[in-house]
Amino acid sequence: MKIPFNKPFMTGRELAYIAQAHQHGQLAGDGQFTAKCHKWLEDNTGSKKALLTHSCTAALEMAAILGNIGEGDEVIMPSYTFVSTANAFVMRGATPVFVDIREDTLNIDESLIEEAITPRTRAIVAVHYAGVACEMDTIMTIAQKHGLLVIEDAAQAIMCTYKGQPLGSIGDIGAFSFHETKNVISGEGGALLINREDLIERAEIIREKGTNRNQFFRGQVDKYTWVDIGSSFLPSEMVAAFLWAQLEEASEIKQERMNLWMHYHDSLEILEQRGFFRRPITPQYCSHSAHMYYLLLESKQERTSFIRTLSEHGIHSVFHYVPLHDSPYGKHLNPETNALPVTTSYSERLVRLPLWIGLGEVQQCVINTIYKAFNHDSL
Ligand SMILES: *Cc1c(COP(=O)(O)O)cnc(C)c1O
């Protein structure tokens, strides 16, 4: 038996909606399905404006342009994240300034942000790891005090909240991912959330190759033309049609993943009590959407043998991230990053377990194998 780490979930209506998009006769972006997705995202986050993009990476690139990030600017972010968090700003000429993470949530340690601020700092990127929120109250207060932009990398955080507020809607700008490894998917895909009225018009222009095409279609200008920098950041209607089939069932998807997440959490409590590993910690004012289930083992060697034991039983588990400050390009950009002890230690000890809809009865095999790995009889 082979248990993969991830298996993309289909609701069953994706192909029918793609056929409908074909019948509508508009295959390029911003058709009826894109409009439905935009409305869903705005209704479910309270954001002033949602715009589909072809990836979360693209949404972050748009955020960097919208934030006027440029040569010589500094952007504060965790090192324990995916490369796109940094690349989007590096592509505008900025330097990423890496800050260590909290031991409980693995999110940027907000108590270390102020000492990383210099006269060149322009923005803070809050990455909500595993859909568990960063300390947004503190981050927003620091940003206001120093006049900084806050961008939420909410790639893993659709339908998650911080003190009741949907993630992605708290900072100036938010970004979601619909990559096939996330909860709600369209293969590749993403969305930009714009939470400030004054950024909306320019966001539409940047997304449409730097033209005022959207204003033209609304009848606000009588011809459309080149008005700013931009690129082609919008997905086709086929991608939006696929995504709509997923958004329609987003609550059910979240619930099914939560059941699996809770089953891991409850079943593995005893092994945590015996000191074999640490389970995820969720502050009580944060709600997540069961994007991932991870364990923090005692050492890198333990993780290596844990992954091997699972693999011998056909179970594929994975780890991430190589800390950005320790990667070849991160070192080249910012050779002076101080040691980030929590980031380094956690990146060597974290392991992610299979979590996908349909895991069902084989989830118990994963749990039993974990008990075996620590020479314990299962429950
Ligand atoms: C998945 C992910 C991204 C990138 O998303 P894409 O849609 O693949 O571009 C960026 N940041 C984080 C934290 C992610 O998990």
Q: DSSP labels for 82-138? A: -HHHHHHHHTTT-EEEEE-B-TTT-SB-GGGTGGG--TTEEEEEEE-GGGPPP-HHH
Q: Ligand 1 pocket check: which of 84, 105, 176, 320 to mutate, most ligand atoms within 8 Å of Cβ? A: 84
**CA 82 / ligand 1 centre spacing (Å):** 6
pLDDT confidence of residue 205 = 97
The residue whose C-alpha atom lies closest to atom 14 belonging to ligand 1 is 155
Ligand 1 pocket residue status of 366, Cβ below 6 Å: no
User: To which residue do tokens 């009225």 refer?
Assistant: 197
Q: Ligand 1 pocket check: which of 156, 289, 320, 350 to mutate, most ligand atoms within 8 Å of Cβ? A: 156
**CA 334 / ligand 1 centre spacing (Å):** 22
**CA 221 / ligand 1 centre spacing (Å):** 35
**CA 14 / ligand 1 centre spacing (Å):** 22
Q: Ligand 1 pocket check: which of 54, 57, 178, 239 to mutate, most ligand atoms within 8 Å of Cβ? A: 57
Contact 14, 246 (CB under 8 A): yes
Residue 117: half-sphere exposure toward Cβ, Cα within 13 Å: 18
The answer to whether the bond into 321 is cis (omega within 30° of 0) is: yes
Ligand 1 pocket residue status of 82, Cβ below 6 Å: yes
Going along the chain from its start, the domains and CATH numbers come out as 14-248 (3.40.640.10), 250-373 (3.90.1150.10)
The residue whose C-alpha atom lies closest to atom 8 belonging to ligand 1 is 179
Contact 193, 168 (CB under 8 A): yes
Q: Which residues are catalytic?
A: 182
d(CA 47, CA 195): 5
Please list the rounded mean pLDDT of every run of 10 residues in the chain (379 residues).
95 98 95 98 98 98 98 98 98 97 98 98 98 98 98 98 98 98 98 98 97 91 94 98 98 98 98 97 98 98 97 97 96 91 98 97 96 80
d(CA 292, CA 336): 32
Ligand 1 pocket residue status of 152, Cβ below 6 Å: no
Q: Which atom of ligand 1 is nearest to the CA of 156?
A: 15
Contact 81, 153 (CB under 8 A): yes
Identity at 206, one-letter amino acid code: I
pLDDT confidence of residue 378 = 62
Ligand 1 pocket residue status of 107, Cβ below 6 Å: no
Ligand 1 pocket residue status of 53, Cβ below 6 Å: no
d(CA 135, CA 126): 9
Contact 237, 29 (CB under 8 A): yes
**CA 236 / ligand 1 centre spacing (Å):** 19
Q: Which of the 8 DSSP states describes residue 133?
A: P
Helices then strands, each counted (H, E), the chain:
14, 13
Q: Which atom of ligand 1 is nearest to the CA of 81?
A: 13
